[in-house]
């Protein structure tokens, strides 16, 4: 019976995670339907850069300069940028589903809400990434791999002028908070806290986002968390807490599995 229960839970969890990722991927499909307004997007990018200079946040060129001559590191950052957004998020959702069904539902709804809000911002405020804004910042993915993931020529396959907000940074914040809140091992919790910073560093060093893009991405995820919490007010989850406090990490939740 235990084996049957494990298989059922595994299949249910896989279905739940696949549905969540498919729903989020619909954001990518809808984003591609937005016709890129290149002149406006580049102008917005320059506005963002001007705001960063005013606030002394314009670290994009300096950050890239730190790594650009270290080819193995740049390649690693490129691969991390291309893959971690989906791979780490999917792994996190699978892990969270096994740890706490209620928390999984909460994070799923928060991510979907944040993604919908990001799509609305992209439609209202198209913004080019630093690498396409004529600011002297290199497109490292194109330079090292020859991949064109954002230019007028690649517009039919993606929307390269949807840099603000950065969902790479936003999703990373959600994953980091989730791991730090639910993992039992101290080392894993620290990895959760570090993960958003590594993602932001990678997006900036590879020329894909401004600092303000990352801040905006995290902001829409915070709004997503707030909306998910608001929708659940008055209802008590079975686990007693959607984001268990540090003092409750050692308590097994229904459907959870041992380990981190």
- CA 183 → CA 43, 252, 260, distances in Å? 43, 11, 5
Cis preceding linkage at 213, omega within 30: no
pLDDT on residue 242: 45
Secondary-structure percent of the chain, ordered helix, strand, coil, rounded to 5: 70, 0, 30
pTM higher than the cut 0.85: no
Residue pair 91/195 in contact by the 8 Å Cβ criterion: no
Measured torsion, CA atoms of residues 186, 192, 193, 199, in degrees rounded to the nearest 10: 150
Residue pair 53/115 in contact by the 8 Å Cβ criterion: no
In sign, the C-alpha dihedral spanning 163, 167, 173, 176 is negative
Q: Distance (Å, rounded) from C-alpha 49 to C-alpha 170?
A: 20
pLDDT on residue 228: 94
pLDDT on residue 244: 45
DSSP code at position 127: B
The length of the chain is 260
DSSP E strands, 106-223: none
Tens-binned pLDDT, residue by residue, of the chain (260 aa): 444 444 434 456 566 666 666 665 555 555 555 567 889 999 999 999 999 999 999 999 999 999 999 999 999 999 999 888 889 998 999 899 989 989 999 999 999 899 889 988 988 999 999 999 999 999 998 878 766 666 555 544 456 788 999 999 999 999 999 999 999 999 999 999 999 999 999 999 999 999 999 999 999 999 999 999 998 886 654 443 444 443 344 434 444 444 45
Residues 6+ apart with CB under 8 A from 139: 131, 132, 150, 206, 207
Residue pair 135/204 in contact by the 8 Å Cβ criterion: no
Q: Distance (Å, rounded) from C-alpha 104 to C-alpha 96?
A: 6
CB atoms within 10 A of CB 212: 21
pLDDT on residue 122: 86
Q: Distance (Å, rounded) from C-alpha 241 to C-alpha 233?
A: 12
The tally of CA atoms less than 13 A away on the side-chain side of residue 77 is 29
pLDDT on residue 90: 87
What are the backbone dihedrals phi and psi of residue 174, each rounded to the nearest 5 degrees, phi first?
Answer: -60, -45
Q: Choose among 172, 177, 162, 165: nearest CA to 214.
A: 165
Residues 6+ apart with CB under 8 A from 141: 78, 81, 82, 147, 149, 206, 208
């Amino acid at each position: 019976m235990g084996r049957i229960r494990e298989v059922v839970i595994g299949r249910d969890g896989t279905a739940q995670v696949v549905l969540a990722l498919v729903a989020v991927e619909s954001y990518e499909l809808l984003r591609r339907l937005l016709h890129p307004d290149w002149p406006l997007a580049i102008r917005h990018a320059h506005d963002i850069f001007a705001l960063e200079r005013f606030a002394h946040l314009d670290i994009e060129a300096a950050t890239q300069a730190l790594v650009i001559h270290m080819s193995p590191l740049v390649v690693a950052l490129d691969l991390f940028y291309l893959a971690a957004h989906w791979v780490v998020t999917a792994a996190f959702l699978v892990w969270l589903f096994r740890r706490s069904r209620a928390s999984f539902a909460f994070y799923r709804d928060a991510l979907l809400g944040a993604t919908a809000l990001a799509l609305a911002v992209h439609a209202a405020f198209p913004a080019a990434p630093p690498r396409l804004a004529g600011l002297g910042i290199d497109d490292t993915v194109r330079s090292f791999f020859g991949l064109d993931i954002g230019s007028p020529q690649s517009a039919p396959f993606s929307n390269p002028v949807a840099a603000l907000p950065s969902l790479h940074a936003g999703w990373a914040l959600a994953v980091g908070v989730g791991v730090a809140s639910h993992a039992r091992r101290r080392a894993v919790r620290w990895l959760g806290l570090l993960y958003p910073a590594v993602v932001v560093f990678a997006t900036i060093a590879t020329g894909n986002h401004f600092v303000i893009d990352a801040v905006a991405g995290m902001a829409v995820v915070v709004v997503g968390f707030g909306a998910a919490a608001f929708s659940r007010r008055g209802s008590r989850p079975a686990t007693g807490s959607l984001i268990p406090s540090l003092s409750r990490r050692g308590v097994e939740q229904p459907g959870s599995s041992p380990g981190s």
